[in-house]
A = this chain, B = another copy of it.
């Protein structure tokens, strides 16, 4: 086996930035058997996003939400795509400023993260519902 590809569904999240490293890895235990490789995490949506950031202090996630709401406000006079609600167009903009996919090195059965890194799912809609990820793991298996 060299490729493993699996679609998973994350539980619905409230609007904001959420640490999901454990939720993702629990759906892909095969990472433990990879000696060297890359894990690709792809979000199949355009109004939520992924990023890698600090895995400890919850206030970092709150500050990210508050700052992105400042940089990308709702109800700007130049928004023309307003039919899906005031949270929709800012969600698309935030999705492009953050990431739709992540590539993470795998070494000796673990993500080769720094001490403080984790995977975030950033829900930019007020009621985004469950979000789908396509995981692609490529590597040398033990």
Contact of B93 with A40 in the complex, beta carbons under 8 Å: no
Pick from B3, B67, B89, B140: contact of A72, CB under 8 Å: B67
Interface residues on A, range: 35 or more
Do B46 and A62 have beta carbons less than 8 Å apart? Answer: no
Q: Chain B contacts of A60 at CB under 8 A?
A: 81, 89, 92
Number of copies: 3
Mask: chain A, 80-120; 1 = CB below 8 Å from B; 0 = not = 11010000010011011110111111010000111011001
| CB neighbours of A7 from chain B (8 A) | 112
B98 adjacent to A96 (CB under 8 Å): yes
Between-chain CB contacts (< 8 Å), 29 pairs: A2-B140, A3-B36, A3-B139, A5-B105, A5-B112, A7-B112, A38-B136, A42-B103, A42-B104, A42-B112, A44-B113, A44-B117, A46-B52, A46-B114, A51-B100, A52-B101, A57-B81, A60-B89, A63-B80, A64-B93, A66-B76, A67-B72, A67-B79, A67-B93, A96-B98, A97-B97, A103-B103, A105-B136, A112-B134
